[in-house]
Amino acid sequence: MQFSTHSTTSFHQIKTAALAVGVYSDGSLTPAADVINQSSDGALRETLTSEFSGKLGELLVLRSLKGIKASRVVMVGLGKPEVYSSQALFKAQTAFAKQCHAINVTDAASTLSLEMTHDASSAQERALLSAQAMTQSLYRYSATLSTQSNDNTPKLKQFQLITAKSDEEAAKLGLKQGQAIGNGMSVAQELGNLPGNICTPTYLANEAKLLARKFKTIKTSILERKQVEALKMGSFLSVARGSDEPLRFIVMHYTGTDFKHSSKASTQKTAQSTKTSSKLNVKTSVKNALQVNDSATGPIVLVGKGITFDSGGISIKPAATMDEMKYDMCGAASVMGTFQALAELNLPIEVVGLIPACENMPNGRANKPGDVVTSMSGLTIEILNTDAEGRLVLCDALTYAERFKPSAVIDIATLTGACVVALGGVNSGLFSSHDELAHQLQDAGKQSQDPTWRMPLDEPYHEQLKSNFADLANIGGPPAGAVTAACFLSRFAKKYPWAHLDIAGVAWRGGKDKGSTGRPVPLLTQYLINQAQQRSA
Ligand code: BES
Ligand code: MN
Ligand code: ZN
């Protein structure tokens, strides 16, 4: 889809197949709706008596209005004016996008982002959310559908965002960012929706290689079993051993073309060694960064859980909804989707993506309850439940992350059913002992309509992970299951600022609308947009 901005206040002159104008539930018209109403002899006001209430997301299509160039005016309910927020804008814009697909128009325009929100969003943020809503609405799963049930491709090709003249530049940037986030979400959704017999660890690795072929700012390398053995990732290997499907450890490295290697702090610290070669300089700055615990140098590492199917292993899951465990690689998918968005935006930042990918299956060599394995960190783990496999693959990836001297490490995982119980499909569970990083992620979540809720990691929870036969056990019993899983991971993430996102509840939807959501690509991309801005300032 092509996006453009158009700055005008002559709303009745806008040429398009469908023009969105906002109306509040108290009957007040937005300025755009008001102009349309006046130019059409009160056509909009007329509907307010019985057909249209202005409830958030409500829609009414009016065709061929006298005095209006647009072939259709779509009235979009904005809800109560006193609580009109970015979230409401996003919902209204999404409703309009769906309507455009339902009526099969090929081009559309929206005045919705002209309206200020009570959370004081900028024109750029409103354009971002509008573009994200439009892009996201285009995604359709079709990979394994025959042509007989595959005729719902959206026809919409062009979208104009109506802006104020002074906001045009900001809106253009917002449109680009919203589109990149929407495209990143589609990448994540597609990988999440593909069945386990197609989306295998090898398939994920090939997709990561494809990303590197598509963007010269991304480099991908794939480690196979032999290399993973050489690294002594005994915990990851133990999970992978239960399946005939070969494991992959995916390493992606993104460096924006405008990325500058040394931060202010490190240039200061290494000022005395400016005559040495630049390569050495980087090394020294990283060393100094660690010594002074400076968090502005070093890449941000994203670690995604890549279990392409989780049967539970020997501690096998019940049959009823086991198909849903094909979504157990949504952490990995969100990392790849975020790389797509990063590269599209060419953000001036350095990001590493790590994906331990394998299946969790119960063959003759699978983990057995009571087995003890040695992780890459040297810590031994007693596997009391083979279905707590996510933490077993992630812990070795967290140790591997140390070699990048990261400024922050964020792991993303469909880790626990307990997190679904605690937070449902609204918030991702956010765990971090680093307040600054936690706040940055919380803020990015709010900004991108992809929210998180902070959860505890207090010392007393660690009690539950004690084992008589190893340094720690892989489960902590029923109470606080999401917390003890995060506590387990924290043991392997002591050498850098770390945060964990449990996305078991938000990454996919069950029931009739079963499918992958593309979350938390918006949150991660927004966090990186903010970091790129902050670090290059
Ligand atoms: N992949 C699951 C977590 C999950 C459950 C994600 C439901 C999405 C929906 C994870 O590997 C798992 O099985 N966790 C166990 C841990 C338990 C054995 C301590 C769980 O949550 O039941
Ligand atoms: Mn499991
Ligand atoms: Zn799992």
Cα 311 to ligand 3 centre (Å):
8
Instruction: Report the sign of the C-alpha dihedral through residues 304, 305, 306, 309, in that order.
Output: negative
Distance between Cα 315 and ligand 2 center (Å): 9
pLDDT at 266 over 80: no
Q: Is the CB of 57 under 6 A from ligand 1?
A: no
Render pLDDT for 337-367 as a digit per residue (tens, 0 to 9). Answer: 999 999 999 999 999 999 999 999 999 999 9
- At 319, give phi and psi (nearest 5°): -70, -30
pLDDT in tens, 499-524: 999 999 999 999 999 999 999 999 99
Say yes or no: CB of residue 420 within 6 Å of ligand 1: yes
Residue 406 has pLDDT above 80, yes or no: yes
pLDDT digits (tens, 9 = 90+) for 95-104: 999 999 999 9
Q: How confident is the model at residue 531 (pLDDT cuts 50, 70, 90)?
A: very high
Closest atom, ligand 1, to C-alpha of 305: 1
- What is the tens place of the pLDDT at every residue in 440-474? 999 999 999 999 999 999 999 999 999 999 999 99
- Mean pLDDT value of segment 223-227: 98
Q: Residue 371: pLDDT above 80?
A: yes
Q: Is 388 in the pocket of ligand 1 (CB under 6 A)?
A: yes
Residue 288: per-residue pLDDT = 42
Q: Is 502 in the pocket of ligand 1 (CB under 6 A)?
A: no
Tell me, in angstroms, the distance from the centre of ligand 2 to residue 311's CA.
Answer: 7
**Does the CB atom of residue 311 touch ligand 1 within 6 A?**
no
CA of 435 to the centre of ligand 1 (A): 27
| Alpha helices (H) along 232-329 | 234-240, 264-269, 278-291
Instruction: Please give the number of the atom of ligand 1 that sits closest to the Cα of 485.
Output: 19
- Nearest CA to 178 out of 93, 59, 114, 81 is that of 93
The response to whether residue 328 sits with its C-beta less than 6 Å from ligand 1 reads yes
- Average of pLDDT values for 376-392? 98
Distance of CA 262 to the CA centre of its chain: 28
What pLDDT, on the 0 to 100 scale, is given for residue 297?
A: 85
> Which residue's alpha carbon is at the smallest distance from atom 8 of ligand 1?
504
Helix axes 481-490, 390-401, angle to 10 degrees: 30
54-81 pLDDT tens trace: 999 999 999 999 999 999 999 999 999 9
Position 536 scores a pLDDT of: 87
What φ, ψ does residue 64 adopt, rounded to 5°? 45, 55
Is pLDDT at 431 greater than 50 in this prediction?
yes
Closest by alpha carbon to 422, among 485, 333, 334, 332?
A: 485
Whose atoms come closest to the Cα of 311: which ligand? 2
| Least confident stretch, 80-89, 105-114, 137-146, 280-289 | 280-289
The predicted structure's pLDDT at residue 121: 84
**Percent of the chain topping pLDDT 90:** 90
Least confident of 33-47, 280-294, 388-402, 471-485: 280-294
* Residue bearing the CA closest to ligand 1, atom 22: 417
Nearest atom within ligand 1 for CA of residue 419: 21
Average pLDDT over the chain, rounded to an integer: 93
Q: What would the pLDDT profile of 299-311 be if each residue is shown by its tens digit?
A: 999 999 999 999 9
Q: Determine which helix (DSSP H) or strand (DSSP E) holds 333, and give its type and residue range.
A: helix 330-345
Amino acid at 240: A
Write out the two tokens for 467: 């084992």
Q: What is the arithmetic mean of pLDDT over 180-190?
A: 98
**Which distant-in-sequence residues (6+ apart) come within 8 Å of 222 by Cβ?**
205, 208, 209, 248, 249, 250, 251
Is residue 125 in contact with ligand 1, taking CB distance under 6 Å?
no
The band of 262, judged by pLDDT with boundaries at 50, 70 and 90, is: low
Q: How far is the CA of 442 from the centre of ligand 1 (A)?
A: 24
Provide Rg for the chain, Cα atoms. 25
Q: Which atom of ligand 1 is nearest to the CA of 389?
A: 11
Task: Pick the most confident of 45-49, 295-299, 330-334.
Answer: 330-334
Q: Is the Cβ atom of 389 under 6 angstroms away from ligand 1? A: yes
CB of residue 504 inside a 6 A radius of ligand 1: yes
Catalytic residues: 317, 391
Neighbours of 496 (CB within 10 A): 21
pLDDT bin (cut points 50, 70, 90) of residue 285 is very low
Q: CATH topology of 2-165 equal to that of 184-536?
A: no
pLDDT at 293: 40
Give the nearest ligand 1 atom to 474 CA: 19
Higher-confidence position of 388 and 271: 388
Whether 75 and 47 have beta carbons less than 8 Å apart is answered as: yes
3-state secondary structure of 17: coil
Whether the bond into 520 is cis, omega within 30 of 0: yes
The residue type found at 115 is: E
Ligand 1 atom with the shortest distance to the CA of 476 = 19
Q: Give the residue, 146 or 29, on which the prediction is more confident.
A: 29
- Phi and psi at 47, nearest 5°, equal -70, -20
Closest protein CA for atom 5 of ligand 1:
417
Atom 3 of ligand 1: nearest residue by CA position: 416
The alpha carbon of 187 and the centre of ligand 1 are apart by a number of angstroms equal to: 24
Tell me how far apart the 2 most distant CA atoms of the chain are, in Å. Answer: 81
Ligand nearest to the backbone CA of 483 = 1
H or E stretch at 19:
strand 19-23
pLDDT per residue over 125-135, tens digit each? 999 999 999 99
Q: Rounded to the nearest whole angstrom, what is the distance from the C-alpha of residue 176 to the centroid of ligand 1?
A: 36
State the ligand closest to the CA atom of 507.
Answer: 1
> What pLDDT, on the 0 to 100 scale, is given for residue 342?
98
The per-residue pLDDT for 57 is: 98
Length of the chain: 537
Report residue 286's pLDDT band, with 50, 70 and 90 as the boundaries: very low
Any ligand 1 atom below 6 A from CB of 475: yes
Residue 502 and residue 424: Cα distance in Å, rounded?
11
Taking residues 165-170, what's their average pLDDT?
97
Place of tokens 């967290």: 398
What's the CA-to-centroid distance between 312 and ligand 1, angstroms? 8
Residue range 205-215: mean pLDDT, rounded? 98
In this predicted structure, the answer to whether residue 12 has a pLDDT above a threshold of 50 is yes
d(CA 348, CA 266) in angstroms, rounded, equals 17
Q: Which amino acid is at 140?
A: R
The class level of CATH for 184-536 reads alpha beta
The two three-digit tokens of residue 219, written as one number: 């480099």
> Taking 50 as the threshold, does the pLDDT of residue 275 lie above it?
no
Per-residue pLDDT, 364 = 98
- Choose among 97, 117, 124: nearest CA to 1: 97
Return the domain boundaries, the chain. Answer: 2-165, 184-536
What number of helices (H) and strands (E) belong to the chain? 17, 20
**Averaged pLDDT, 334-338:** 99
Q: Is the pLDDT of residue 143 over 90?
A: yes
Q: Which residues, in sequence order, are CB contacts of 118 under 8 Å at separation 6+? A: 82, 83, 84, 85
Superfamily of domain 2-165: Leucine Aminopeptidase, subunit E, domain 1 (3.40.220.10)
Residue 359 Cβ < 6 Å to ligand 1: no
User: What predicted TM-score, i.e. pTM, was given to this entire model?
Assistant: 0.93
For position 40, what pLDDT does the model report? 97
328, 133, 325: which is closest to 125 by C-alpha? 133
Pocket perturbation via mutation, ligand 1, pick of 382, 412, 416 by most ligand atoms within 8 A of CB: 416
Could you tell me if 23 and 29 are in contact, meaning their C-beta atoms sit under 8 angstroms apart? Answer: yes
- Sequential DSSP letters for 167-235: GHHHHHHHHHHHHHHHHHHHHHHHHHHS-TTTS-HHHHHHHHHHHHHH-TTEEEEEE-HHHHHHTT-HH
CA-to-CA separations, 529 to 344, 347, 401, in angstroms, rounded: 12, 7, 22
Q: How confident is the model at residue 22 (pLDDT cuts 50, 70, 90)?
A: very high
Token pair of 12 as six digits? 């009745």
